[in-house]
Chain A
Amino acid sequence: MRDHKTIICRCEEVSLEDLVRTAESYRCSSRELKLRTRAGMGQCGGRTCRALVDSITQKCTNDSTPHDIPLGYQAPIRPITFSIMGEKKDE
């Protein structure tokens, strides 16, 4: 895990280095780590990096009981278009 240039969040291009540095300096929750770095906030909705971001938080803050519940899922689980979202049920 010491190759810090490794990209953890591909959508927003956030590296392990960014995540570790931020987690260490703010000792924050996963949610705050996500907001501060944008990891998990891109196209895929964090499907790829969520578990990694959670584990970085735990490692860096040395906390076995996370402050926050693990990162949540925000609907829609998979990206969809405005036209599909806007469809009336009875149409």
Chain B
Amino acid sequence: MDSRNTEVLIIGGGVIGAAIAYYTAKSGMEVTVIDKGDIASGTSSRCDGNILAIDKEPGFDSQMSLESQKLVDQLSKELDLDFEYRAPGSILVCESEDEMIAAESWVERQKKAGLSFKMLDRNDIKQESPYFADDLLGGLECETDSTINPYLFTYSLFHGATKYGAKVMLRCEVEGMSRDSVTGLFKVNTPKGEIIAKKVVNAGGIWAPYIGNMLGLDIPIKPRKGHIIVASRDMPVGMRKVMEFGYLMSKFGKERTVDEETDKYGVALVFEPTESQNFLIGSSRQFVGFDTRVDMDVVNCIARRTIRFYPKIADFIIIRTYSGLRPWTPDHLPIVSPVEEIPNYYIAAGHEGDGISLAAITGKLMTELLQDQINTIIPTDPIRYSRFKNVSTIQT
């Protein structure tokens, strides 16, 4: 069997592994990416492509997204392969007075954090799309929000990374690993032979806990399933991304006033026009293990939610449905961090529903961490692995 050496080994060829590979290779490091399947064969090809600040907790979370948005804008100019980048902004719509009040405070807090947010009234909503239900009261807008095609983005980052010398090993699963206590080098076992790495980055998404477990780590990531409907656009419904305000509640696990099924499946309306003549409708949030089969009861519930916000979409055609698994963490923030107890071992996983948004900033930050830089592009404390140390039982 062969044995090969690399300075940095990235485990996982999803959008996160891709962004880390791009920025590390560009900075001159010698890097190898390994994936058990193809590029973007995990969650990164079973999701939407929104690069959003609108749905991020005001403060660190939303600023991290804003930084990532700026990086994606740069990437759209520096990468060779197109990834359908557009930056039309996005909106949230409210169906009750209570939501309008909550929306106002959301806008105030985001503005304080330095983001470009504003309230929308009934008229603005009507202007946005003639398809909206008449009873919607208003909403809010985030101007900087952008959108991309997630798997084309991943392919493009890999294309860029290999130009800077990154190596990619596909259909090759990491089956085990150990760290030599004398040399500090990692010995990584695969069906195609052994890889010796100075540094390892675990970018395994929902599988990060299995990979971490090979060295005795307990990484608190769980799959949180989401469904999407692909529909064909007979007429232009709207130009930019729309979500119901209740999406925030569902995302952060807060109470909502909706029917039992909508609540049970965590269904909240998300509308996303794509560059092809289709649009995507989401969303749902469930903890049901690693099952990626489409559940028609959930799709049914999403279709009903769509008609509540867009009654006139009722006659539009659904082409297909799919589902993916978000890498969830208990505090809804990713882990982008060294692991103190294992020198030269890093984790970049647990981005839940924000991995596309946060890939660029994650790649940039991980490159700085791998080079032991003190001044990093964003503060690292909120996303350190060690924040979970004293959490003995993690609740979902």
Tell me if A67 and B171 are in contact (CB < 8 A): yes
- Interface size bucket, A side? 20 to 34
CB neighbours of A31 from chain B (8 A) = 38, 41, 45
Please tell me if B367 contacts chain A, counting CB pairs below 8 Å.
no
Tell me if A82 and B318 are in contact (CB < 8 A): yes
Closest 4 CB pairs of A and B: A86-B303, A74-B320, A83-B314, A85-B303
Complex Cα–Cα for A74 and B231 (A): 13
Please tell me if B276 contacts chain A, counting CB pairs below 8 Å.
yes
**Residues in chain A within 8 A of chain B (CB atoms):** 12, 28-29, 31-32, 35-36, 38, 41-43, 45, 67-68, 74-76, 79-83, 85-88
Tell me if A86 and B294 are in contact (CB < 8 A): no
Given contacts A28-B38, A75-B299, A75-B320, 16 further A-B pairs with CB under 8 A are: A32-B40, A35-B45, A35-B152, A36-B155, A41-B276, A43-B317, A74-B321, A75-B296, A81-B315, A82-B231, A82-B313, A82-B318, A85-B229, A85-B299, A85-B303, A86-B314
Tell me if A45 and B300 are in contact (CB < 8 A): no
Complex Cα–Cα for A29 and B315 (A): 35
Complex Cα–Cα for A49 and B151 (A): 21
- Interface size bucket, B side? 20 to 34
Q: Is the interface of B mostly helix, strand, loop or mixed?
A: mixed
Tell me if A42 and B319 are in contact (CB < 8 A): yes
Contacts known (A32-B38, A38-B276); A85 close to B318, Cβ less than 8 A = yes
Quick one: which of B278-299 are within 8 Å of A by CB? 294, 296, 299
Complex Cα–Cα for A9 and B321 (A): 19
**Could you list some 10 contacts between A and B, CB below 8 A?**
A12-B276, A31-B41, A32-B41, A42-B319, A67-B171, A75-B296, A79-B317, A81-B318, A83-B314, A85-B300
